[in-house]
Amino acid sequence: MSTKTDQRGKKILQVLLRHGNTSVDELAEQMGASTASVRRDLTRLEERGLVHRTHGGATLAGQMLYEPFRFDSSFQVREGRFAEEKRRIGMAAAEMIREHETVGFTAGTTTTQAARCIRHRTGIHVITNAVNIGMELNHQVALDVTLTGGNMRWAGAFSLTGPTAMEMLGGVFLDKAFIGACGVDVRHGATTIEPDEAAVFRAMVRQAKQVIVLADSSKIAMTSPALICQVSDIDILITDSGISPDALAGFKANGVHVMAV
């Protein structure tokens, strides 16, 4: 594949990451290329599992990868809440990842969005306790994907927990850890519902040079029962523009860099 073709493919994916779908004519105009070239690009991207061709255009690949779980809609329901905000947060998180880095993704709908945004990237080692993230990334040959192993206890969570997951994470070091949470509060830190899951998330936090919490604004100033990490352990919080000025000021006062996208 020529460099020009490769660059055009990356631009197409950036458009789809931002908008979800587009037409061949719109892409041709933006790329300054012929519609025939764009159709060939879309065919190549579809063969890699990155897009779905539609009549006259394309959409970003995604939901069909959950076909084995089609009888359990709980994850899809949670994905649908604040979907646009989660998509923007995921894109911002993915843009922080550099080639040759080892990064961790905890289970969660927003971390899943971030993982989706690196499917077209190369030279990244991903470590995750989320089975669905492993499913989405495993067929991308330019990515190195490792699952922690462990027990799956909650329907629709795709989250691996327990001693196996903890032991695996204790033997690796991460450049960045992207942490999902049910609540993020200045006083109580990042929290989630299940203690066993929180323990795995904490293990990932301990092994990371940089801890990045991903949470839409509905989770800000909320607290769930199980502690993931204190606010002092959080380097960056990526949320959306719905965060309140008071919460924003509180996190900044505690040394957290906040990105409201």
pLDDT tens digits, one per residue of 160-195: 999 999 999 999 999 999 999 999 999 999 999 999
> pLDDT category, 2, cuts 50, 70, 90?
low
Distance separating alpha carbons of residues 35 and 37, to the nearest angstrom? 5
Name the more confident of 124 and 138: 124
> pLDDT category, 65, cuts 50, 70, 90?
very low
Choose from 26-40, 59-73, 110-124 the range with maximum mean pLDDT.
110-124
Q: Which amino acid is at 47?
A: E
Buried b (16+ CB within 10 A) or exposed e, 56-94: ebbebbbeeebeebeeeeebeebbeebeebbbbbbbbbb
* pLDDT at 20 (0 to 100): 74
Whether the pLDDT of residue 70 is over 60: the answer is no
Please choose, from the candidates 105, 70, 106, the residue with its C-alpha nearest in 3D space to the C-alpha of residue 194: 106
- pTM metric for this prediction: 0.81
* pLDDT at 31 (0 to 100): 85
